[in-house]
Amino acid sequence: MSQRKRMQIMLKYTFSISFIFILVLTACGQDSTFVEPADTIKNKYLPSGLRIGTDVISIIRSQSGDNFDGWEINADIDFYRYYLAIDYGSWARSEALSNGTYQNDGTYFRVGADVNFMLKDPDRNMFFLGIRYGQSKFDEMLTYTFTDPNFGDFQKSVTTGQITGRWIELTSGLRVKIWKGFWMGYTARLKFAPKTSDTPGVVPYDIPGYGRADKSTYWGFNYQVFWRIPFRKLN
């Protein structure tokens, strides 16, 4: 079994377990007899802190000779159980073809929201589901060799202008406090509905932040480290 196939199976199990765990937490956590005071409800939706971090997997891939160079910055801010999440990254990839090479280079962002299902944890550790809108801007270059029957081999390069890519993601994962402001966690991503524009006469091959443009769904996984900047003391 290939490494990609094992990753897809692992992520599918992650999402399945996530949904089951959320249903259990929701069923166990319901309490219809308790009503919080109005002032408590108002204050708990005030943001208590900002987390800023990075994706460790992107750094490792960039140093491993995987024909990939990139990085990603992650941030989220809480509104009680709801989190506004923003990601920004750089992505450059090269791939050898049978008669040449393919390269792309661009940046991307994601914006969306997560819902935390670990409401009673005093440290606000997270087990979450979320949704993201992703968009990227990138260039592609294809260098290939072709043979003319009269003049022999020639090398040619085709370069695109700025291409725009868009997609949607469903996310699930964990955020855990390790020490003081230091947090760690992971995010599993089901990416789907990719679209591209500004591509006259060109079919994009790889979309930064998404992956292969010819795939209608794509699995992604990030292992992240964060530092949390507190705004106020947690209730």
Q: Report how far apart the first and last C-alpha atoms of the chain are (Å, whole number).
A: 48
Count CB-CB contacts under 10 A for residue 188: 22
Give the pLDDT confidence score for residue 185 in this predicted structure. Answer: 95
More confident residue, 19 or 156: 156
CA angle 103, 105, 110 (to 5 degrees): 130
Give the pLDDT confidence score for residue 103 in this predicted structure. Answer: 92
Q: Are strands 163-179 and 211-212 parallel, antiparallel or unpaired?
A: unpaired
Segment 144-171, tens digit of pLDDT: 887 767 766 777 788 888 899 999 999 9
Task: Indicate if the pLDDT at residue 23 is higher than 50.
Answer: no
pLDDT grade, residue 32 (50/70/90)? very low
User: What's the rounded mean pLDDT across residues 177-194?
Assistant: 96
Residue 58 in domain = yes
Task: Indicate if the pLDDT at residue 65 is higher than 90.
Answer: no
Residue 98 in domain = yes
Residue 13 in domain = yes
* Global pTM value: 0.81
pLDDT grade, residue 221 (50/70/90)? very high
Residue 34 in domain = no
Close Cβ partners of 162 (under 8 Å, ≥ 6 residues apart)? 137, 138, 139, 198
Domain count, the chain: 1
Residue 60: which domain range? 3-27+47-230
Segment 39-59, tens digit of pLDDT: 456 677 889 899 999 999 999
Residue 37 in domain = no
Task: Indicate if the pLDDT at residue 4 is higher than 70.
Answer: no
Task: Report percent pLDDT > 70 for the chain.
Answer: 79
Lowest mean pLDDT among 19-23, 98-102, 116-120, 226-230: 19-23
Give the pLDDT confidence score for residue 90 in this predicted structure. Answer: 97
Q: How does the average pLDDT of the chain come out, rounded?
A: 84
What CATH number does the domain containing 204 carry? Answer: 2.40.160.20
Note the residue count of the chain: 235
Whether 84 and 132 have beta carbons less than 8 Å apart is answered as no
